[in-house]
Amino acid sequence: MNEQELELLYTQQLNDELVHQTRQAITRLVELYPQEFGLEALIPSTRRFQPTHWSFLWRQQLSYKVLGEKYGIEKVINTSHPRASKAVRQLFIDDLDRYMQWFPWGWFSNMQFIGAGGFSAVYATLMIPPYDVQPTRVALKIVDDKVLNEISVQAKAFLPLLFQGLTVCESTGDLMMVMKMSNDGNLEDHMQQMPLEDLDLKTITGTILRLTVNLADLHKAETCHRNVHPRNIMCTDSDYFLVDYRFSTPSRESSSVTALTKAVYGRLPYVAPEVRRGVYTEKSDIYSLGIIIWQLVSKVVFPSPDVLLDMSKKSVSENVYRIEPVPGLPAWYEKLYVACLEPRPENRPDAAELCRVLQNIHDTLDFSVPLDPRVTAYIVARRAEVADHLRTYSKVKGIVSASTTRLYTLSNLPATDHFVSLPFQNMPFRLAWNS
């Protein structure tokens, strides 16, 4: 071993020792002044302390995993608020404690109700931890069984990037998930507000690739999302994340759950045609992704299902829900969304196949690839058409709500596959892609 290698080894050992000592010091500090961390019920103390500067390692010491290891899981559960203890126990059972940091309620201020995210109330608030100079804007979501499922699915599929930890409301005892506030809205917001600003094929392909990686990770964990649509794709710091795993189920159970309940939560027209027969697989998620791939170049934002139901009486060519070839696109792009929307699920690609194909395409594209002017003309025409239909519809029916996730029984789930007029090859993706 030469001198350089010895120096590197010594530096690493020194770094490891410093980390170890820092962790010990933070643990001692938490034990001395637990009230500053909202842990006085777990670690009784009579001392007072005014916190000053903090570090990332200090935050790690407040994770449920570290608290459980240090003080015992049962004690952590039993000293939680009675209304939150069941959920805290489930976090340890599902091995989610490593992702969950404890946040004292006193760190949050200026809370505002912003909506109900799938039956759970969601609030915007400022978090002011003593270890950060600037307040952080975050979202708080009340944790119920569906939200626990959402956390569990994310943790199994990939590192949970959008939620940071947990807190307990002092007045109600509700366990609340602390989530990163999406500062850029969702994908549908982008398509609605800036339809002509994102017309670079390299950028669009990169977006599809990131979404496909999300879905591939989920399917690798043998889980179906079951509610893929643009509002469940959040844009944060110029990146995209698939969210809302409340209705996710293990892949092997998805079809049986659908057939048994004879119902599905979904958003039209993103529900795959086979779902009406009680069949739901990973390929049903791929169908939903295929519509999004088409939307990223057509910029069509689908209106309320009420509009769809009324328009089902019109011819397909007149319908604002129609999905047809977009002129001026490269052949490979059309092949992508056509393959994902194949009527027979077995002919669609799986997420891993899509990732491989998209990565190769993305790597070979130039830094900037502007779309053909014919695409822009198509976008303008379709947007004007949708706006005109909505104006007419609202005069007759009143205010038109946006398209949202709804509960449908399989018997009343409208068919939408007849709105899709594409050059299907009716063969497995491996063969169709190379033809």
Q: Average pLDDT of each block of 10 consecutive residues along the chain (435 residues)?
A: 74 82 81 77 67 57 86 90 82 81 87 63 81 77 71 61 76 81 76 75 91 88 90 75 80 87 88 93 96 94 71 59 93 95 96 93 88 91 85 62 74 87 92 85
CB-CB neighbours of 355 under 10 Å: 18
pLDDT at position 147, please?
67
Return the bridge partners of 141, or none.
122, 177
- Residues in Cβ contact with 47 at an 8 Å cutoff, skipping those fewer than 6 apart: 32, 33
What are the Cα distances from residue 426, in Å, to 171, 199, 277, 329, 422? 58, 30, 20, 21, 11
User: Which residue is listed with tokens 């952080």?
Assistant: 136
As a whole number of angstroms, the distance between CA 298 and CA 328 comes to 11
In degrees, to the nearest 5, what angle opens at C-alpha 57 toward C-alphas 55 and 59?
80
Q: Which domains does the chain have, with CATH numbers?
A: 3-180 (3.30.200.20), 187-434 (1.10.510.10)
Burial class (CB in 10 A: 0-12, 13-18, 19+), 63: middle
pLDDT at position 233, please?
86
Answer for the pair 303, 390: CB distance below 8 angstroms, yes or no. yes
pLDDT at position 53, please?
47
Provide the H-helix boundaries in 79-125.
85-93
As a whole number of angstroms, the distance between CA 354 and CA 349 comes to 6
As a whole number of angstroms, the distance between CA 381 and CA 379 comes to 5
* E runs forming strands in 63-189: 101-102, 108-116, 121-127, 136-142, 163-168, 175-180
Answer for the pair 231, 188: CB distance below 8 angstroms, yes or no. yes
Q: With a threshold of 0.75, does the pTM exceed it?
A: no
The secondary structure of the chain in percent helix, strand, coil, rounded to multiples of 5, reads: 50, 15, 35
With left for phi above 0 and alpha for psi between -120 and 50, is residue 373 left, alpha or beta? Answer: alpha
pLDDT at position 294, please?
96
Answer for the pair 241, 233: CB distance below 8 angstroms, yes or no. yes
pLDDT at position 168, please?
87
Position 146: which residue type? K
User: Which residue is listed with tokens 């594409």?
Assistant: 422
Distance, CA of 40 to chain centre: 35
